[in-house]
A and B are shown apart, each in its own frame.
Chain A
Amino acid sequence: MLVEKGTSTRFFEPKINSEVVSVLPGHFFVTGEPDLAISTLLGSCVAACIRDTRTGFGGLNHFLLPDADAARSGGFSSRYGVHAMEMLVNEILKAGGSREHLEAKAFGGARVIDTSSSDPIGARNGQFVRDYLASEGISLVATDLGGSRARRVYYYPNSGNVTVQRLPLNETGSATAHEAALKQSMAKAKPSGAVELF
Chain B
Amino acid sequence: MTRVLAVDDTRALRLMLADCLKKAGHDVVVASDGVEALDQLRTHKPEIVITDLNMPNMNGLEFIEEARKMPEGQTVPILLLTTETAQALKDRAKQVKATGWLTKPFDPDQILGLVDQLA
Show the binding face of A for B, using Cβ within 8 Å.
Answer: 2-3, 73-76, 78-80, 82-83, 85-87, 89-90, 93-94, 98-99, 132, 135-136, 190-198
In the bound complex, do residue A193 and residue B105 qualify as a contact, i.e. CB atoms below 8 Å apart?
yes
* Cβ contact within 8 Å between B13 and A86: yes
B interface residues with partner A (beta carbon < 8 Å): 9-13, 15-16, 19-20, 54, 56, 83, 90, 93-94, 98-108, 110, 114
Instruction: Give every chain B residue within 8 A of A75 (Cβ-Cβ).
Output: 16, 19
| Distance (whole angstroms) from the CB of A82 to the closest CB of chain B | 5
Given the contacts A86-B10, A93-B54, A198-B93, A79 and B103 also touching, CB distance less than 8 Å = no
In Å, the complex CA distance between A98 and B56 comes to: 8
- Asked, given contacts A136-B11, A192-B110, A195-B114, whether A76 binds B101 with beta carbons under 8 Å apart, the answer is no
How distant is the Cα of A76 from the Cα of B104 in the complex, in angstroms?
13
Residue of A nearest to B9 (CB): A99
Chain B residues with Cβ below 8 Å from A135 are 11-12
- Complex contacts, B105 vs chain A, CB 8 Å: 2-3, 79-80, 82-83, 191-193
Please indicate the chain B residues that have their CB under 8 angstroms from the CB of A197 in the complex.
99-100
Query: Given the interface contacts A193-B105, A198-B99, does A76 sit within 8 Å of B19 by beta carbon?
Result: yes
Supposing A99-B56, A191-B105 touch, asked if A87 and B83 sit within 8 A by C-beta, the answer is: yes
Residues of chain B with a CB closer than 8 A to A195's CB:
100-103, 110, 114
23 contacts between A and B (CB under 8 A): A3-B105, A76-B16, A76-B108, A79-B105, A79-B106, A80-B105, A82-B13, A82-B105, A83-B104, A85-B12, A86-B10, A90-B83, A99-B9, A99-B56, A136-B12, A191-B107, A192-B106, A193-B107, A195-B102, A195-B110, A195-B114, A198-B93, A198-B94
Task: Give min CB distance, A148 to chain B, whole Å.
Answer: 29
**Residues from chain A with Cβ under 8 Å of B11 in the complex:** 135-136
